[in-house]
Chains A and B, each alone.
Chain A
């Protein structure tokens, strides 16, 4: 694994390497190099099994983290390629030409995070939702509890007490 990481570091600008396990590494790379790196890993280093593509919303930094998780089937190695993209008008190059199922992941990301992958097949079709007209739900600025309470009629009649407050009310109300 170390060897492979060294190889990559020679060829690409890797900003961060995290060793999670002996056979699981996460590396960070710039947005423009990402697809190139993934292609390189697939074709040259033979990380032929694409596990997942997902996004993490770092709203504090105004960034989405995209993680491409690749797996080397015979050497049993995992490598996670991380890249950070801007949260506003998020777009990313599509990788659907590398594996067939990448398009599904990209379709989900488009719907749930609003990250666009121009050129990916059916990327604009709704995947899980239907008739959704709010901001993409997986973005952290979308408040699911508030939305649910406003939309889905929570059953009324519930109220709770904080023990400390209640005891204050009962035992020493004047202090």
Chain B
């Protein structure tokens, strides 16, 4: 990519939401090679397309109940091992515990996944990717948090690079205690999640959309570098 400056930075105002903004995230007026100019807001354009919208459940109760049942029986897990707990996903998806029989499958892309397992501690760097993955997932989506680290920092409670509580950054449906939780405990977590989904309580996606500003403010407080790596797609 050409390094020459073909844009003009627009100075932001001194409002509260711009407090944590770094210079590279200021809005900018970019001049295209053909002479047209347009404004780029790195925060929006590079990270999140638009504020997510809440999606109401189906108004017909019976239908919603049936769909929730289907959702609970077909949980596609995003194959993103964020921390050490992911090592226990191996036994879970293999003969010993065989979570497939409970409708759990792994999916390599967030677009098709319903459940994100935050397997333990999240460093700031991973948190950014986890949030991006979470936002790419489609509603309804669920989050399962493994281990002490997601509840109150766990072993890394005083580390400068790991978050202490996950519920400040994304809505969590189920916590599983352990360090790390055994596969059985994870299965118990899946059962609890299924129960919640069937009861219609798995509305984390809507909760995220409704409190988007709060979540975003928390995230912005610690993620100093909002720039995504330069994808050219």
Contacts and interface: CB of A to CB of B under 8 A. Distances in A.
Interface of A: 128-134, 137, 142, 144-145, 147-149, 151-155
B14 interface: no
A142 B160 contact: yes
Contacts of A131: 22, 124, 223-226
A131 B25 CA distance: 12
A152 B224 CA distance: 13
Contacts of A137: 160-161
Interface residues of B, number: 24
B157 A154 contact: yes
B160 A144 contact: yes
Contacts of B223: 131
A151 B222 contact: yes
B65 interface: no
A112 to B, nearest CB: 11
Contact of B152 (A129, A130, A154): A154
A105 to B, nearest CB: 19
22 contacts: A128-B161, A129-B125, A130-B225, A131-B223, A131-B225, A133-B224, A134-B160, A137-B160, A144-B158, A144-B160, A147-B160, A148-B157, A148-B160, A148-B164, A149-B158, A151-B222, A152-B162, A152-B164, A153-B164, A154-B165, A155-B151, A155-B153
A71 to B, nearest CB: 30
Contact of B222 (A144, A152, A154, A155): A152
B216 interface: no
Contact of B164 (A129, A130, A155): A155
Contact of A130 (B124, B153, B160, B221): B124
Contacts of B164: 148, 152-155
Nearest to A148: B158
Contacts of B159: 144, 148
Q: Which of B22, B152, B160, B163 has most A Cβ within 10 Å?
A: B160
B198 interface: no
Chain A binding surface SS class: loop
Given A131-B124, A131-B224, A151-B222, 18 more contacts: A129-B124, A129-B125, A131-B22, A131-B223, A137-B160, A144-B158, A144-B159, A148-B157, A148-B159, A148-B160, A149-B158, A151-B160, A152-B165, A153-B163, A153-B164, A153-B165, A153-B218, A155-B164
A34 to B, nearest CB: 30
Contacts of B225: 130-131
A137 B159 CA distance: 10
Contacts of B124: 129-131
A145 B161 CA distance: 11
Interface string B147-190: 00001110001111111110010000000000000000000000
Contact of A151 (B22, B151, B152, B221): B221
A144 to B, nearest CB: 4
B194 interface: no
A151 B123 CA distance: 13
Contacts of B27: none
Contacts of B222: 151-152
Nearest to B124: A130
A111 to B, nearest CB: 12
Contacts of B152: 154-155
Given A153-B168, A154-B164, A148 B153 contact: yes
A60 to B, nearest CB: 22
A137 B163 CA distance: 16
A155 B166 CA distance: 10
A152 B127 CA distance: 12
